[in-house]
A and B are shown apart, each in its own frame.
Chain A
């Protein structure tokens, strides 16, 4: 089952601009993670934000989490061509003592030079 819904589905911006992607989810979570996937390759973990955190930064990335609205956003500042990829949010549950990630539908980001 897909818990996360992301918007926009696709985003195209000019290099140097900021990119914002949003993720909404349905049930309570332990944490929310963002991953990047270059075309047809494995996913790369970007950032994890716990349910008791509201904002987190990592380099050019800024993530916010609003548990009351069940939503998160990922901001990439000063975008570069290398940021072109698909970005997925993933929510975390822990049934039976093992981590289960459920991914959103993803946002395909294109950075135009």
Chain B
């Protein structure tokens, strides 16, 4: 299985809602990533997990809370988001925390009303 899956594909939420994005890979990769991508812009790194530990937090607001329950699963918990947080959220994984290719999921299109 060489796929990264993300659920849901689309999510619409109000500013007071709590929701979660889920990402899963079964390639045995030990590094996982969350990116945020606005329309016609490149992906921007949010978080990096290496061996299930948070390695990098790119000064992301606390209304985004990542979680890595095990080596195959990565969650992004959302709470009290703002309309400007509407974007495509991409998950990726790589074999190890080193210099190699990343495999991306199809993304979750998030709209905050």
Binding site for B on A (CB under 8 A): 2, 30-31, 33, 35, 40-45, 48, 50, 88, 92, 94-106
Q: Are B55 and A88 in contact (CB under 8 A)?
A: no
Smallest distance from the beta carbon of B92 to chain A beta carbons, Å?
Answer: 8
Which chain B positions have C-beta within 8 A of A92? Answer: 99
Q: Are B98 and A99 in contact (CB under 8 A)?
A: yes
Which of B48, B103, B109 is A100 in contact with, Cβ under 8 Å?
A: B48
Question: With contacts A30-B99, A42-B90, A45-B104 known, what are 14 further pairs, Cβ within 8 A?
Answer: A31-B99, A42-B104, A42-B106, A50-B99, A94-B99, A96-B56, A98-B48, A98-B49, A98-B50, A98-B55, A98-B56, A99-B48, A101-B45, A102-B45
Q: What DSSP secondary structure best describes chain B's contact surface?
A: strand
Binding site for A on B (CB under 8 A): 4, 31, 41-45, 48-50, 55-56, 88, 90, 92, 94, 97-107, 109
